Amino acid sequence: MGEHVLLYILFAPFVGALALIMVSNRQPMLVRGIAVGSTFVSLVASVYLFYAYDPVKGGFQFVQKFEWSRQLGISLHLGVDGIGTPLVLASSILLFTGVFVSWHIKDRTKEFYIWLLILAAATIGVFMSLDLFFLYFFYEMSVIPMYLLLGMWGSHTKKYLEMTDQEGLKLRDSVGFIFNFGSNSKEYAAMKLVLFLSAFAVAALMGILLIYKYSGLDTFDILVLREQAQLMNIPVLGTTLDKIIWVLVFFGFASIAPLWPLHSWSPVGHAAAPAATSMLHAGVLMKLGHFSIIRVAFEILPETTREMMPIAAVLCIFSIIYGGFVAFYAKDTKYVIGYSSSSHMGYVFLGMAALNYVSLSGAVIYMFAHAMATGMLFAMAGWVYDQTHTRDLPSLGGLSNKMPFIAGCFIVGCMASIGMPGTVNFIAEIMIIVGSWNKYPFQVIIAVLGIVLTMAYLFKMMRGLFYGPMNQKYSHAHDAVATVDRLPLLVMIAVSVGFGIFPMHLYDVVRSGVDPLIARITHVVPVAQTGEELGARGEAMATLPVGDAHLVETTPSPFTPQASGRPE
């Protein structure tokens, strides 16, 4: 694969989608085979990328650049650093497992897989883009498949299906259900998602165009802009241009994160989406917001980021607590997991807001960890729905007798989501909490209470699904027995537990991307990329005063290879 590995990862799903266009829906196994083959290529290339990335060398690696418009300064400029590499891997894992989770879809199977492949490829394109034009292009590309996947293959909520008037006629075509979040139709969920994301994406686009216009460089290249763009001293509307751009970029991308109060589209979308779409939605689509903020605001406007990120530190409290309490009282399994995801994204914003090496590294690792944990939960919620045709918790229960494998995997998924030691989520949460304590102790206390709340609503959901008396009308439900049904869950569990027990390479890769970024924001000279122990290095770097240049001597970790070249 070598230097072209990014092209394999990005274009394998696109090639698979093009190949599916030529296949008839009357050949379902061929359709599924093409989907599996294209996603497997992307997965293998992503695994190679993750382990071939050199954390000692750091920086952007495997760079590919193809000029698109010299006059406008636009290029298909691809490359990954320690922040993008694990997110590319997460996208490929969820795409591959999502194909198997969707194995039993019979309604327009070909079209479903085409849009699923395009959705995942678009998210991968964002994580690879080093050009603002194509970063935004792939970002917007992800919205179209989501609309179609929700509107065509999604499902209505229980309350929506039961809406009737006194004469027994359905009122689903009225506007009344819009004002009751529990009564949404799949069409409404799809439209709300598109309107929210498109409206705020326009704000982000305005910020990007202002960067292009006032940088004076006539380029969208992020690497050029971060070194040469000077946007600080231009007065606009009683403030400086950099602050206006930062607000546009931050809130434009924070809507997809989703940050409170811009979150309401997300749980509705989760509830309506088919299982594989919910996996990609929660696992990687929501991370596009955090990643784009890091790539644009953190890289190009580092000083403004240091000044403005307390905004995120305030709003993340509401995300954590509000999302947690709504999840606790929700009666729809997908609403529970959806609001849980919104709550957990507040932890990522907290880690980003603290702006130190430990907290931001924890935030990036948490994005990867959350993708695996939430992917498991949505996959199993989809299985339960396929067997019972309901997501209403009060009407379910006792399913562990019928689904022992699913019940066991669900426990692992809940433990990962809570942050149980032995899962990669635990490492990420500890890093965020420890790294954020000195700067935001109140937010950290709220975050710890949020973990307790997470335990409460996940245990409540697990009890409501699998324990207690079982309604006999669900006695026909059966467990996941076939390989295609068990494989996706086993893959996600293996990744979550594997990196939880052996986290050093993941940690080294992430730190190689975080160190130079935080150094730019805090004006601290970054230490050598050697992957030393978290406690010693994290404590030393977190206490460095802002504005001074320091170099911390450290001892290399025995887990980190000292060779700096890429493995052959």
State pLDDT tens for residues 299-320. 888 888 888 888 888 888 888 8
Per-residue confidence at 566, pLDDT binned at 50, 70, 90?
A: very low
Q: How many CB atoms lie within 10 A of CB 28?
A: 15
Token digits of residue 528: 């050598």
Q: What are phi and psi of 386, to 5 degrees?
A: -65, -30
Query: Where are the alpha helices (H) located in 70-217, listed in sequence order?
Result: 84-101, 109-128, 132-141, 143-153, 158-162, 186-215
| Integer CA distances (angstroms), 437 to 199, 420, 445, 455, in order | 35, 20, 9, 22
Q: What are phi and psi of 240, to 5 degrees?
A: -105, 155
Section 398-402 average pLDDT = 81
Secondary structure (3-state) at 104: coil
CA distance 446 to 317: 7
Secondary structure (3-state) at 62: strand
Token digits of residue 566: 């890429």
pLDDT at 112 over 70: yes
Query: Are the C-beta atoms of 204 and 252 separated by less than 8 Å?
Result: yes
Section 284-289 average pLDDT = 86
- Confidence at residue 304, expressed as pLDDT on a 0 to 100 scale: 85
- Confidence at residue 233, expressed as pLDDT on a 0 to 100 scale: 58
Section 228-244 average pLDDT = 66
Per-residue confidence at 104, pLDDT binned at 50, 70, 90?
A: confident
- Confidence at residue 158, expressed as pLDDT on a 0 to 100 scale: 54
Greatest mean pLDDT among 381-385, 400-404, 433-437: 433-437
User: Among candidates 12, 137, 141, 10, which has minimal Cα distance to 75?
Assistant: 137
What residues contact 476, with CB distance under 8 A and at least 6 apart?
387
CA distance 212 to 207: 9
Residue that the structure tokens 């678009």 belong to? 122
Over residues 195-210, the pLDDT tens digits come to: 888 888 888 899 899 8
Beta strands 61-69 and 74-80: pairing type? antiparallel
CA distance 14 to 20: 10
CA distance 246 to 253: 11
CA distance 252 to 267: 19
Per-residue confidence at 537, pLDDT binned at 50, 70, 90?
A: very low
**Position with higher pLDDT, 166 vs 466:** 466
DSSP of 393-452, one letter per residue? GGG---GGGT-HHHHHHHHHHHHHHHT-TTSHHHHHHHHHHHHHHTT-HHHHHHHHHHHH
User: Among candidates 337, 308, 470, 509, which has minimal Cα distance to 414?
Assistant: 337
User: Among candidates 388, 550, 351, which has minimal Cα distance to 475?
Assistant: 388
Token digits of residue 527: 């230490």
Residue that the structure tokens 């007798």 belong to? 401
- Confidence at residue 4, expressed as pLDDT on a 0 to 100 scale: 86
- Confidence at residue 419, expressed as pLDDT on a 0 to 100 scale: 85
**Position with higher pLDDT, 496 vs 524:** 496
Q: What are phi and psi of 203, to 5 degrees?
A: -60, -45
- Confidence at residue 151, expressed as pLDDT on a 0 to 100 scale: 76
CA distance 55 to 508: 6
Greatest mean pLDDT among 185-194, 240-249, 421-430: 421-430
| Integer CA distances (angstroms), 69 to 66, 130, 131, in order | 9, 15, 12
- For 380, the enclosing helix (H) or strand (E) is helix 357-388
Query: Are the C-beta atoms of 323 and 346 separated by less than 8 Å?
Result: yes
Number of H helices, E strands in the chain: 24, 4
Per-residue confidence at 234, pLDDT binned at 50, 70, 90?
A: low
- Confidence at residue 390, expressed as pLDDT on a 0 to 100 scale: 79
pLDDT at 46 over 90: yes
CA distance 373 to 416: 6
Section 72-96 average pLDDT = 90
Secondary structure (3-state) at 556: coil
pLDDT at 324 over 80: yes
CA distance 257 to 429: 18
CA distance 84 to 509: 10
- Confidence at residue 404, expressed as pLDDT on a 0 to 100 scale: 86
What residues contact 408, with CB distance under 8 A and at least 6 apart?
none
**Position with higher pLDDT, 271 vs 366:** 366
CA distance 326 to 343: 10
In our burial notation (b when 16+ CB lie closer than 10 A, e otherwise), range 44-68 reads: bbbebbbebbbbbebebbbebeeee
- Residue 330 gets the label, from left (phi > 0), alpha (psi -120 to 50) or beta, of beta
Per-residue confidence at 239, pLDDT binned at 50, 70, 90?
A: low
- Confidence at residue 509, expressed as pLDDT on a 0 to 100 scale: 92
* Average pLDDT of the chain to the nearest whole number: 80
Whether this model's pTM surpasses 0.85: no
Q: How many CA atoms lie within 13 A of 175 on its CB side?
A: 0
User: Among candidates 129, 50, 119, 52, which has minimal Cα distance to 86?
Assistant: 50
- Confidence at residue 563, expressed as pLDDT on a 0 to 100 scale: 38
**Position with higher pLDDT, 560 vs 389:** 389
CA distance 478 to 421: 31
Over residues 434-482, the pLDDT tens digits come to: 988 888 899 899 888 988 888 888 888 888 888 877 777 777 878 878 8
Residue that the structure tokens 């109140």 belong to? 442
pLDDT at 553 over 60: no
pLDDT > 90 fraction of the chain, expressed in percent and rounded:
19
pLDDT at 543 over 50: no
Per-residue confidence at 235, pLDDT binned at 50, 70, 90?
A: low
Q: What are phi and psi of 444, to 5 degrees?
A: -65, -40
Over residues 144-156, the pLDDT tens digits come to: 888 888 878 777 6
CB neighbour class for 205 (10 Å; exposed up to 12, middle 13-18, buried from 19):
middle
- Confidence at residue 157, expressed as pLDDT on a 0 to 100 scale: 62
- Confidence at residue 495, expressed as pLDDT on a 0 to 100 scale: 92
13-17, 89-93, 237-241 — which is least confidently predicted?
Answer: 237-241
Token digits of residue 172: 């689903």
